[in-house]
Amino acid sequence: MSDSHGHDSLPGLAHQFDSYEQQRESASLGMWAFIVQEVMFFGGLFVTYLVYRREYAAAFAAGSHHLDVKLGAFNTAVLIASSLTMALAVRAAQLGKKKPLIGFLVGTILLGSVFLGVKTVEYSHKWHEHHVPGPHFAFESTGVHGEPIDPHNAQIFFSLYFAMTGLHALHMIVGIAILLWLIFHAARGRFTPDNYNYVEGTGLYWHFVDIIWIFLFPLLYLIGRH
């Protein structure tokens, strides 16, 4: 299995790479390209949001008033805190500190779970209020200025709300699964200052998910509040 121009003994260095540096730069570029892909993926939703917010401004404001600003703001804070723990986890990996690494990863998972828990509460409220798009959807409220609202237009708002926050939550669930995997390998001492690409890549992914929420929160929760 030995080839004349390969490296045979460097732990954690894949055969196609010549050095850790090449491997790390490849992983970083790959992750960034993946994030750009994610940006365009959410971009399709954001452009849909822009078109309909422009078209049905009153219905969007009315729909937004049915979201809980307090919960939304609390979740924003939780997610930002989880980004902090994630950043500190990457830092621990850079420095090769195993215990803090595991600690911060666990912290990130806990904060992420709190976020998802709050999201579940919000979703169940929406379910009880018949604000989930589909055959049971109902919207009787008037607009912010007392104008009647076509339920169909409000349904578009809630469709986008569920599509955007739902896909965001799905990304968090995937992220938490990856974090669990990282903890498993971190416990076995697999990550070294030479080779912590998986931790760094997961960090980039987690921060990206945070950024999506940074935009979703004002766009969905804070329309026409004044």
Partner 1 sequence: MSAHVSPVRTYVVIFLALMAGTALTVWAAFQDLGALNNVVMLTIAVVKATLVVMYFMHVRHSSRLTTMTILAGIFFLLILFSLTLADYATRDWLTVAGH
Partner 2 sequence: MLKNFPLLPPSASTLSGDVDAVYLFGVAVAAFFSVLIFCAVLFLAVRFRRRSPDEHGTPERALIWLEIAWSVIPLVIMLGMFGWGAKVFFDLHRPPSNATEYFVVGKQWMWKFQHPTGNREINELHVPMGAPVRLTMTSEDVIHSFYVPAFRSKSDVIPGRYSSLWFQATRTGTFPLFCAEYCGAEHSRMIGHVVVMEPRDYEAWLVRGASAQTVVASGADLFGALSCNTCHRTDSAARAPQLAGVYGREVTLADGAKVKADDNYLRESILNPAAKVVAGYQPVMPTFKGQISEEQLLQLLNYIKSMAAAPTPQQAILGGTEAR
Partner 3 sequence: MSAEAVSPRTNYLNAEYGVSSWLFTRDHKRIALLYLGTITVFFALGGLMATLIRLELATPAGDLLQPDTYNRVFTMHGVLMIFLFLIPGIPAVLGNFLIPIMIGAKDLAFPKLNLASWYIFTAGGLFILWSLLNGGVDTGWTFYTPYSTSFSNTHVIATGLGVFITGFASILTGLNFIVTIHRMRAPGLTWFRLPLFVWAHYATSIIQVLGTPVIAITVLLLALERMFHLGIFDPAYGGDPVLFQHLFWFYSHPAVYIMVLPAMGVASEIFAAFARKRIFGYRFVAFSSLAIAVLGFLVWAHHLFVAGISVYAATVFSVLSMLVAVPSAIKVFNWTATLYEGSISWETPMLYGLGFIGLFTIGGLTGVMLATLGIDVHVHDTYFVVAHFHYVMVGGTIMGYLGGLHYWWPKISGKLYPAFWSKLSALIVFIGFNLTFFPQFLLGYLGMPRRYHSYPPEWQVLNVLSSAGASILAVGYLMPLVYFVWSMRYGKPAPANPWGAVGLEWETPSPPPTENFPETPVVVGEAYDYTQRNYRFPLRDRHEVANV
The residue ranges that bind partner 3 (CB under 8 A) are 3-6, 14-18, 22, 25-26, 29-30, 33-34, 36-38, 40-45, 47-48, 51-52, 55-56, 133-135, 150, 152-153, 155-156, 159-160, 163
Helices (H), the chain: 20-55, 57-64, 69-94, 98-128, 151-187, 197-216
Which value, to the nearest 10 degrees, does the dihedral of the CA atoms of residues 180, 183, 188, 190 take?
100
Cβ-based nearer residue to partner 3, 29 or 174: 29
Q: Using CB distances below 5 to 8 A depending on partner kind, what does residue 111 bind out of partner 1, partner 2, partner 3, none?
A: none
Q: Which among 107, 212, 217, 223 is positioned nearest to 170, based on CA atoms?
A: 212
CB neighbour list of residue 166: distance below 8 Å, 6 or more residues apart? none
Per-residue b/e over 123-152, b at no fewer than 16 CB within 10 Å?
beebeeeebbbeeebebebebbeeeebebe
Neighbours of 26 (CB within 10 A): 14
Cα(203)–Cα(83) distance, rounded to whole angstroms? 8
Q: Using CB distances below 5 to 8 A depending on partner kind, what does residue 143 bind out of partner 1, partner 2, partner 3, none?
A: partner 2
Angle of CA points 38, 30, 25, to nearest 5°: 145
| Of residues 43-102, those binding partner 1 (CB under 8 A) | 43-44, 46-47, 50-51, 54-55, 69, 73, 76-77, 80-81, 83-84, 86-88, 91, 94-95
Cβ-based nearer residue to partner 3, 75 or 197: 197
Site string for partner 2, 147-186 (x = CB under 8 A): xxxx--x---------------------------------
Q: Which among 160, 138, 166, 137 is positioned nearest to 60, based on CA atoms?
A: 160
Q: Using CB distances below 5 to 8 A depending on partner kind, what does residue 117 bind out of partner 1, partner 3, partner 2, none?
A: none
Q: Which residues are at the interface with partner 1 (CB under 8 A)?
A: 20-21, 24-25, 28-29, 32-33, 35-36, 39-40, 43-44, 46-47, 50-51, 54-55, 69, 73, 76-77, 80-81, 83-84, 86-88, 91, 94-95, 193-194, 203-204, 207-208, 210-211, 214-215, 217-219, 222, 224-226
Q: Which residues are at the interface with partner 2 (CB under 8 A)?
A: 56-59, 143, 145-150, 153
